[in-house]
Amino acid sequence: MTTAPMKRRAILLFTLNRPGVLNKIAMLIRRKMYNVETITACKTRQPGISRMTLTLFEDDDDKVVQVLRQIEKMTEVVSARELHVDQSFWREVAIVKFEADEALLEQLGQRFRFEILDRQNHELYIVQVAGTSRMIDDFTAAVGDDRIIETARSGFTALEK
């Protein structure tokens, strides 16, 4: 019997840009027995304010609401809300180092948009792929596990429509 994958959730936070804020948020989520899948953070156009996107897996809406309420109680948090996948854009970036000949590279170029960052020894490539996680997964599957040397993924960032 296989279990269905849990629902991926994205939480958007605006926080004061102070040392330790990320750690406090991570500790609160850990205490609630959640495992943060990805976290991205950046400064905003408003001085002293940072923007974070956390992703985690949880099917229970009430649990997510409870975590959001507790996050919002933190003095360093300006606002926190869940971003729904149908009302926002979720993207990530991957840098992939792999071996390929010209034919495979051309085939990948017809199916995917990517930027070649480096080419070594005519058959070793480092490329940047940006898009949905499914698109990045499809790209790496098309390259093949036997050809991939290393992959680095950024984690999700999200923006409301």
**One domain for residues 93 and 78:** no
Q: DSSP string of 77-113? A: EEEEEEEPGGGEEEEEEEEEEEE--HHHHHHHHHH--
* pLDDT (tens digit per residue) in 101-136: 999 999 999 999 999 999 998 899 999 999 999 999
Cα–Cα distance between 13 and 73 in angstroms, integer? 12
- Given the structure tokens 């960032």, which residue do they identify? 157
Q: What is the DSSP letter of 85?
A: G
pLDDT of 35-84, one tens digit each? 788 889 999 999 999 999 998 888 888 888 888 998 999 999 999 999 98
CB atoms under 10 Å from CB of 11, counted, come to 22
In a domain, 3, yes or no: no
18-27, 94-103, 108-117, range with the lowest pLDDT: 18-27
Residue 151's domain spans which residues? Answer: 89-160
114 and 131 fall within a common domain: yes
Query: Measured on CA atoms in the order 105, 149, 93, 132, is the torsion positive or negative?
Result: positive
Integer Cα distance of 96 and 79 in angstroms: 35
| Tally of CB atoms within 10 A around 71 | 22
Q: Indicate the number of domains in the chain.
A: 2
- What pLDDT score does 64 carry? 86
CATH number of 95's domain: 3.30.70.1150
2: in domain: no
Which CATH number belongs to the domain containing residue 73 in this structure? 3.30.70.260
The pTM (predicted TM-score) of the whole model is 0.79
Tokens of 10: 């994205």
Whether 95 shows a pLDDT value over 90: the answer reads: yes
Does one domain contain both 78 and 49? yes
